[in-house]
A and B are shown apart, each in its own frame.
Chain A
Amino acid sequence: MSSSSKSASARPARFKVGERVRVKDSPNLFYSRTQMYVRGVEGTIAMHTYQDLIPEDEAWNRDEAPQEQFYIVRFRQKDLWDGYPFENDTLQTELPDGWLEPVND
């Protein structure tokens, strides 16, 4: 994402690979990179990518904002699309820590 992030601090990663998470069902306001179709949906942490400014800060040049851990999150296509016909298909996308909440099974 940003090539010259100047953030002073980084929030610690809250999730481990394999953990179940749910994407926050927050409303769109002005700008986001969190796709509408993953909001409120449960998925699994597939990997950690990097720490960086979140898009909501970087897009307004809030370079001093704390960085967050980004993750590749894996979803079942059946959970994303109404009537999706195949059981095993998955979709992976990248999301920052703050957009995720823990799932307590």
Chain B
Amino acid sequence: MPARSELRDYYRIGAQLAPMQHQQEDWPYEISHGQYVAHMVPPHDVGGQPDTPVIYEEKEEEFWELNTYVTCEVLAWRGVWNAEERRRRGNNDLGQSLYYGFPYYGRWIWAAARMLVDKNHISLTELIEKVAEVRARYEQ
């Protein structure tokens, strides 16, 4: 009999082996109405999507996640994006791939950076150079 922790892993791997259907997308000339409607749904409207069972976990926030939260709040105090709904829209506007593909706070920090560029608080070149500078510092 497998240990309980192993059993959980077996089920998890099994769930990942389930076949998935993907729809090929390559900027088609025409799409069906169903595809149009599905594309227009804001990414956060996930209720009703079929999914495999997930394990409920109490996860403690990591340091970078807390930093992200504080950064977003400070940007609110400084008037960059006061309305909470404005911030949620920033998350949604990253699009399906980034919204679903990033951790929760990953999309928040991306949305914050995007907002700073959109509102001309920083230029995209400044942001790219800053990220490169920080990356180089960490690689040393």
Contact = CB atoms under 8 A, between A and B. Distances in A.
Interface residues of A, number: 22
B47 interface: yes
B41 A36 contact: yes
A59 B89 contact: yes
Nearest to A27: B40
The range of chain B's interface size is 10 to 19
Contacts of A66: none
B40 A4 contact: no
A28 B89 CA distance: 13
A53 B85 CA distance: 10
A49 interface: no
Interface of A is mostly: loop
Interface in B42-94: 42, 44-45, 47-48, 82-86, 88-89, 92
Contacts of A86: none
B42 A58 contact: no
B37 interface: yes
Most buried by A among B42, B45, B85, B89: B85
Nearest to A93: B47
Contacts of A59: 83, 85-86, 88-89
Nearest to A29: B40
B86 A31 contact: no
Contacts of B48: 35-37, 81
A35 B85 contact: no
Interface in A46-63: 53, 55, 58-61, 63
A8 interface: no
A2 interface: yes
Contacts of A60: 86, 89
17 contacts: A2-B83, A4-B82, A29-B40, A30-B42, A31-B42, A32-B42, A32-B45, A33-B44, A36-B45, A37-B48, A55-B85, A58-B83, A58-B84, A58-B86, A59-B83, A59-B88, A61-B83
